[in-house]
Amino acid sequence: MGIAELLKIVEKAKEKNINLIKFKGETLAVDASCFIYKGLYSQSADDLMGKKSTKCLDYILKTVKIIVNAGIHAVFVFDGQMLPSKKVTNDKRIADREERRKEAIALLKMGNKEEALKKFRGSYSISKECQAECIEVLSGIKGVDVIVAPYEADAELTFLVNSGLAYAAITLDSDLLAFGCMRVIYNLNVDSAMCEVIQFPNIRSCFSQRLQSSFNSELLRYMCILRGCDYFGGLKGMAFKNAEKFFSIISDRNPKTFIRHIKSVTKINVPNIEIFVNEFIRANNTFLYQIIFDPRDGCQKPLNPYPEDLIKEFGSQNSIVDSLESDSFFWYAGKIYPPDIARLLAVGNQFEEILKNNIRFKIPQNVSFKSIWKYLTGGRSPLRIKREPSTCSLSQSLPRKRRNSSNIAEESEIISSKRCLMSNTQVFGQDDSSKENNKLTNSEGNTIYDKQQHLKIELISQNKQKSPLNELQRVNSNSKVRKIIIRESKYFKSTSENVETKLFKEDVSSSILYNRITAKPNFTRSQERR
């Protein structure tokens, strides 16, 4: 799995000892297969002896927990169907696994349990049942999305990161660097939450000064193909150091041209150049145009747009897709399915089961605003408190001139009350069950406040100043009240005992506690004299 020696070559580009909490609030795409294999490794002893075990699933849940607890939204990406371009590699791996399994059984019968366990661990493969069980469990966890790639998870992970749907990808596979994934997290420790991060631009520093000026994702991909990858066996004897030396001398980046100069520069023989060139180009196209699933429109598409020469030849992208489906071009990079089938495959259903209309998994509904499925389901957006526009005009709130002292108290009470109730406020826990239109009057019969709901207002602050609002605090102690919190207008504030007000330029707000009065208060003359 992965490209040999690549992670050693880019060691200098790694940011080490990074805590996962650094990515709080981000979305991370997770290579599910890597952690499933680690989980299977932990229960290999039980499997070898034929015992049932849940250690694999426990390890997956432990991984999920450490990611979600760090405040990260996780997208677990699973492998899909077998990629045609990888058929030779997959067939060889299947044969090797079967051979190791047979050797493990033979060693176990001989009583050599330790050697049998080593062989048995090398025979693991993720079955459809194991994958379906993991998908079912992960789909029910809050803060976790699950998506199944049309073919390889590496291409899907790269797409999610490079398209901005995820910030980085968590994996153990070096292939993501060959795909050109911009940010990759390696060696995640599920106990300490520590990891290593490689940002693609930093890989430039791992090569010679001469190569740094022309370094890009294409150059790294060419070096990986020559070294050997899952889609092409590579050139025997071509290590990364040889490839680095070769591309430092040869500036031509056309495979049909530079491959013919390999022998003259590196002294490495290239057998049958024509076949080698065709296989090299096919591997390169598999990296570039492998089919992925885009959750934004629910369709399958190539990882990168098709080349312009093909677009000119066929006239449109749709014609290219038709040719792909008829196995004319890039058939080895995957087939594009219709959107309705593509979406069912992406959530974890098997193609054979879809044809039988046996649908086990459906597209999630009522997802959060961070979910990658929000584009297809109209996911919820984050809750925001919406403020109503102020209905209080300056002419109503600001007294033009001072009145007689005998009328100031009553008028200022009305102004202050309106200012609190009619300004830009947010009320929490208010009960609208009472809608009677009563008047609050003093002992002389003058109206202090006329409102559908009667409120008792108290100014809460460390330095309580005397205010006409205090008159409204003198209510009957037997009145049934309920406390509610509101916010005063940010534009107005009482500035003195004589109730002069002015417009503040700063954003001034204060918390006010007021009570709803359900029984009509009675003011006494002694209270009024105060």
CATH of the domain at 66: 3.40.50.1010
What tens digit of pLDDT does each residue of 435-472 get?
344 454 444 555 544 444 444 444 333 444 444 444 43
Residue 500 has pLDDT above 90, yes or no: no
Give the other-Cβ count within 10 Å of 473's Cβ: 13
| 466-to-249, 409, 410, 475, 497 alpha-carbon distances in Å | 85, 12, 15, 17, 6
Which residue from 422, 403, 418, 417 is spatially nearest to 498, judged by alpha carbons? 403
Which residue from 12, 53, 22, 10 is spatially nearest to 188, judged by alpha carbons? 22
Q: Amino acid letter at 99?
A: E
DSSP annotation of 482 reads -
**158, exposed or middle or buried, with CB in 10 Å at 0-12, 13-18, 19+?**
buried
Last residue of a domain, one of 288, 309, 339: 288
Mean pLDDT of 165-190: 95
Query: Are 56 and 150 in a shared domain?
Result: yes
The rounded distance, in Å, linking the Cα atoms of 175 and 3 is 6
pLDDT for 45: 84
Say whether 166 sits in a helix, a strand or coil: coil
Query: Are 175 and 72 in a shared domain?
Result: yes
Residue 300 has pLDDT above 80, yes or no: yes
Residue 51 has pLDDT above 70, yes or no: yes
pLDDT for 43: 86
Residue 139 lies inside a defined structural domain of this protein: yes
pLDDT for 323: 54
Q: Does residue 303 contact residue 159 with C-beta atoms inside 8 Å?
A: yes
Residue 163 lies inside a defined structural domain of this protein: yes
Query: Are 162 and 247 in a shared domain?
Result: no
Residue 164 has pLDDT above 50, yes or no: yes
Q: Measured at the alpha carbon of residue 183, what is the angle toward residues 188 and 71, in degrees to the nearest 5?
A: 55
272 phi-psi bin (left φ>0, alpha ψ -120 to 50, beta other) = left
Residue 293 lies inside a defined structural domain of this protein: no
Confidence grade of residue 319 (pLDDT, cut at 50, 70, 90): low
Q: What is the chain's mean pLDDT, rounded?
A: 76
DSSP bridge pairs for 75: 29, 145
Residue 402 lies inside a defined structural domain of this protein: no
Strands 483-487, 299-302: pairing kind = unpaired
Query: Are 181 and 284 in a shared domain?
Result: no
What is the span of the domain harbouring residue 187? 6-79+126-206
The rounded distance, in Å, linking the Cα atoms of 465 and 395 is 25
Residue 117 has pLDDT above 90, yes or no: no
pLDDT for 385: 32
343 versus 464: which is more confidently predicted? 343
Alpha-carbon torsion, ordered 198, 199, 202, 208, to 10 deg:
60
244 phi-psi bin (left φ>0, alpha ψ -120 to 50, beta other) = alpha
92 versus 74: which is more confidently predicted? 74
Residue 163 has pLDDT above 90, yes or no: yes
Query: Are 65 and 182 in a shared domain?
Result: yes
The CATH number covering residue 245 comes to 1.10.150.20
382 versus 206: which is more confidently predicted? 206
The rounded distance, in Å, linking the Cα atoms of 205 and 216 is 12
Query: Are 224 and 193 in a shared domain?
Result: no
pLDDT for 199: 96
Q: What domain count does the chain have? A: 2
pLDDT for 318: 58
Residue 151 lies inside a defined structural domain of this protein: yes
Residue 99 lies inside a defined structural domain of this protein: no
DSSP annotation of 202 reads G
Last residue of a domain, one of 156, 186, 206: 206
Q: Where are the alpha helices (DSSP H) in 110-214?
A: 113-121, 128-139, 153-162, 175-179, 209-212
pLDDT for 1: 60
Residue 290 has pLDDT above 70, yes or no: yes
For residue 484, give both structure tokens: 């509610």
| DSSP string computed for 35-86 | HHHHHHHHTHHHHHTT----HHHHHHHHHHHHHHTTT-EEEEEE--SPPGGG
Mean pLDDT of 178-192: 95
The rounded distance, in Å, linking the Cα atoms of 225 and 471 is 84
pLDDT for 382: 39
Length of the chain: 530
Q: Amino acid letter at 16?
A: K
Q: What crossing angle do the helices spanning 55-68 and 32-42 adopt, rounded to 10°?
A: 130
Instruction: Say what percent of the chain tops pLDDT 90.
Output: 44
Query: Are 198 and 272 in a shared domain?
Result: no
Q: What crossing angle do the helices spanning 217-227 and 273-289 adopt, rounded to 10°?
A: 130
Residue 41 lies inside a defined structural domain of this protein: yes
pLDDT for 365: 87
pLDDT for 119: 87
Mean pLDDT of 363-368: 88
Residue with tokens 């193909």: 225
The rounded distance, in Å, linking the Cα atoms of 313 and 468 is 83
Confidence grade of residue 214 (pLDDT, cut at 50, 70, 90): confident
Q: Which of 187-191, 362-366, 511-515 has the highest mean pLDDT?
A: 187-191
Residue 527 has pLDDT above 50, yes or no: no
Query: Are 149 and 65 in a shared domain?
Result: yes
DSSP bridge pairs for 485: 428, 513
Query: Are 145 and 261 in a shared domain?
Result: no
227 versus 509: which is more confidently predicted? 227
Strands 144-148, 73-78: pairing kind = parallel
Query: Are 32 and 151 in a shared domain?
Result: yes
Last residue of a domain, one of 271, 288, 305: 288
pLDDT for 316: 56
Residue 515 lies inside a defined structural domain of this protein: no
Mean pLDDT of 243-252: 90
Query: Are 183 and 253 in a shared domain?
Result: no
Give the other-Cβ count within 10 Å of 311's Cβ: 14
Query: Are 45 and 192 in a shared domain?
Result: yes
For residue 461, give both structure tokens: 């602050």
